[in-house]
Amino acid sequence: MTAKTITIDPITRLEGHGKIEIFLNDQGDVEDAFWQVSELRGFERFCLGRPAEEMTRIVPNICGVCPSAHHMAATKALDDLYDVEPTPTAKLIRQLEFNAFYIEDHYIHFFFLAAPDFVVGPDADPAERNILGVIHKVGKEIGARVIEVRKKNREIIKLVFSKPPHPEGGLPGGVARGITSEERRWIKEIADYSVEFAQFAMGLFKDVVLRNKKNLDLVLNDAYQLKTCYMSLVDENDKVSFYDGTVKVIDPDGKEFLRFDPRDYVEHIGEWVEPWTYIKMNFLKKIGWKGLVEGEGTSLYRVAPLARLNVADGMATPLAQKECAQMFDTLGGKPAHHTLAMHWARLICALQAAEHNQMIASDPLLTSKDIRNMNLRLKRVGVVGFVVRASAPLLPALARKPPIRGLA
């Protein structure tokens, strides 16, 4: 037998494209493997010297799937730069938009990126493991509902921040437009529809995964466990928070390791550079860089849906809390290190976002005309800690002088 190279190019079912090369030895065993992503974005450089106010329009272009997260982080950094607190109505409108983003974003992840393996099946023909295969398996009606719930919530994003793909509209101290009484009724209808769909999606997950021993065994398999620390935002009641709060970190055993104000992130989070990648490795400074190792003493941490549920004491809304409790009962308690459970946690977060939008749609302050606090006091440095992605857990500072210190 001769040595062989297996090339998978491109990898398409992720946010961007990549390439995998697997090198087999003469016996046919894996000798080495490389995952290559070649897109160098360069945002850290071309943002230097630009007015801070432009960041809310520039950074959404970091990602076409999660632009609202980057837009909101930049908006909150402008709040801090100008030392201004958004009005209660502006905060409600921002949270409304951000919840809508969470809903449409989490469903594209689950149905377009994860469901091809869970629903179509890991043993199916790779040519069938895509969204069309999912629709074929579950039926066109369900496929249409997935498209509809995303469409409706993207319409909320468009209403509030002008366009869904790369939103604008966040201003220091508030937002660019308010909500009318007529729009409130429309928003409430979408929120109700989103809660209904979230419960349907949860039921589908239970039918396809929890009641399918093969799929459940896959989720619980030790091969897909990674024991790291976890980091997330929590609110004043230690519940899951998407928009605001304090940063809480737990160790691999679930014990609280650290809690800090987002503005102090540079004191607690470090960046390590390896020669084989231009991606910086984030780690906990208090422990120090220990390398890419898991388990006791690791300085690595994970963010995103599973981290939120591991870190917080519970969800902030009742239906989501019920589902969260069931998830940890199934996984054997907290913290859960099952990487594939990230998809389950994602559905629970989408449910909380939908429930919260129901509450916002009924809040009397939503239609107030007080949408911006103009009491701006330039501090020259503005920092926001905003958990967005595992590879970019915190969006660093926006500043006039000194220049912008970098964008994750």
pLDDT, position 93: 97
Nearest CA to 243 among 379, 369, 99? Answer: 99
Nearest CA to 353 among 204, 189, 238, 240? Answer: 240
pLDDT, position 247: 95
Count Cα atoms within 13 angstroms, Cβ side, for 324.
27
The Cα–Cα gap between 279 and 133 comes to: 33
Segment holding 19, helix H or strand E: strand 18-24
Show the CA angle centred on residue 280, arms to residues 279 and 283, nearest 5°.
140
> What is the pTM for the complete model shown?
0.88
pLDDT, position 215: 85
The Cα–Cα gap between 302 and 228 comes to: 7
pLDDT, position 121: 81
Bridge partners, 258 (sequence order): 249
Within 224-277, residue ranges assigned H as helices are 265-268
Task: Give long-range contacts, CB 8 A cutoff, 24+ apart: 201-210.
Answer: 201/107, 201/110, 201/347, 201/350, 202/323, 202/347, 202/348, 202/351, 204/138, 204/142, 205/110, 205/118, 205/343, 205/344, 205/347, 208/118, 208/119, 209/118, 209/344, 210/330
Show the CA angle centred on residue 243, arms to residues 39 and 186, nearest 5°.
100
Residues 38-75: b if buried by 16+ CB within 10 A, e if exposed: eeeeebeeebeeeebeebbbbbbebbebbbbbbbbbbb
Distance of alpha carbon 393 from the chain centroid: 9
Query: What is the residue-level pLDDT of the chain in tens, covering all 408 positions?
Result: 456 999 988 877 766 678 899 999 988 899 998 888 776 677 878 888 888 888 888 888 887 778 899 999 999 999 999 999 999 999 999 999 999 999 999 998 898 888 888 888 878 888 888 888 888 888 888 889 999 999 999 999 999 998 888 888 899 999 999 999 999 999 999 999 999 999 999 999 998 888 888 888 888 998 899 999 999 999 999 999 999 999 999 999 999 999 999 889 899 999 999 888 877 889 999 999 999 999 999 999 999 999 999 999 999 999 999 999 999 999 999 999 999 999 999 999 999 999 999 999 999 999 999 999 999 998 777 776 444 343 333 333 343 333 333 333
The Cα–Cα gap between 262 and 235 comes to: 12
DSSP helix, strand, coil percent of the chain (3-state; round to 5): 45, 15, 35
Cβ atoms 199, 92 nearer than 8 A: no
Distance of alpha carbon 187 from the chain centroid: 23
- Report in angstroms the alpha-carbon separations of 266 from 13, 257, 393: 33, 16, 12
Residue with tokens 């065994």: 217
Segment holding 91, helix H or strand E: helix 88-107
Q: Nearest 5°: phi and psi at 33?
A: -150, 145
Strand 229-234 and strand 301-302: the pairing is: parallel
The Cα–Cα gap between 18 and 23 comes to: 17
| Domains detected in the chain | 4-36 (no CATH), 50-218+360-399 (1.10.645.10), 226-337 (no CATH)
DSSP 8-state class, residue 404:
P
Cβ atoms 170, 161 nearer than 8 A: yes
pLDDT, position 16: 64
Strand 256-260 and strand 269-272: the pairing is: unpaired
Q: What are 336's two structure tokens? A: 């859960």
- Report in angstroms the alpha-carbon separations of 334 from 90, 93, 305, 309: 35, 33, 14, 9
Nearest CA to 340 among 115, 173, 176? Answer: 115
